[in-house]
Structure 1
Amino acid sequence: MSATPVVFLHRLPRWVLLAAVFVLLAVGMVGTGWVGAAGLLVLLAALAWFAYLNWPVLDGSERALRVAAMVLLAAFAAGHVIGRF
């Protein structure tokens, strides 16, 4: 199920994925309301997908770090929606 997107991402130049992460993070931090929340939620979805793919080989601290990053992104996205950030 994830093989095709993983192969597609692997064939891209390395800077493309990094640039996409920075653009989504910038949109999430600079954007207001739903625009900022959408950027953060797309970034959250990508992070969750990568965490899901790597979950079996991660130890406890690595899993906790990924979960904490996802919770933080979700909190910032929720803050954009309710107008706190």
Structure 2
Amino acid sequence: MANRRPRHPLAQPQKAKKAPRPLPPGEQFFTPGATGLRKTVETRSAPLLVYLYQMPKWLLPVVLVAFFIGGFALPDWRGGLCMLPVIAFTGWLAYLSWPSLRVGARVLRLALLAFLLAVAVTRFGGL
């Protein structure tokens, strides 16, 4: 015990930093041969996707479900505002995943976006 240095009374124990989750395995991060708008959107979306992947797994679904429920629960313009982040996020992911989807999955994403837009429009209709 003689070799042990006394700790400063205000010193906090150092916490080990948690390493970020590694990215999931995959063949490609970007659409091969993409040009124009798709290439720009994919390039600018990559850092945000990595950031969202590093967040706790439960956080994004909880936030989106809260906005979704708010969109249905509030019958006026506030419900329409609550639906806008859900529409934007769903549309963004649909756009990014579009090249790798089959026809049935594309139709489902379009139907979901149409439904969400219809809910938002009915909420804004009272203005």
Match of 2:125 in 1: 82
Which residues of structure 1 form unaligned runs of 5+? none
TM-score, normalization: structure 2?
0.63
Identity in percent = 33
Q: For 1:1-85, what aligned pairs fall within 5 Å after superposition?
A: 1-83=44-126
Runs of 4+ in 1 over 4 A off after TM superposition: none
Q: How many residues align?
A: 83
The whole-number CA distance in structure 2 between the counterparts of 1:64 and 1:39 is 24
TM-score, normalization: structure 1?
0.93
**Match for 1:74: what amino acid?**
L
Which residues of structure 2 form unaligned runs of 5+? 1-43
The whole-number CA distance in structure 2 between the counterparts of 1:19 and 1:49 is 18
Q: Report deviation, 1:31.
A: 1.5
Q: Please provide the CA RMSD for this pair.
A: 0.9
Higher relative contact order (CA 8 A, sep 6+): 1
Highest CA radius of gyration, 1 or 2?
Answer: 2
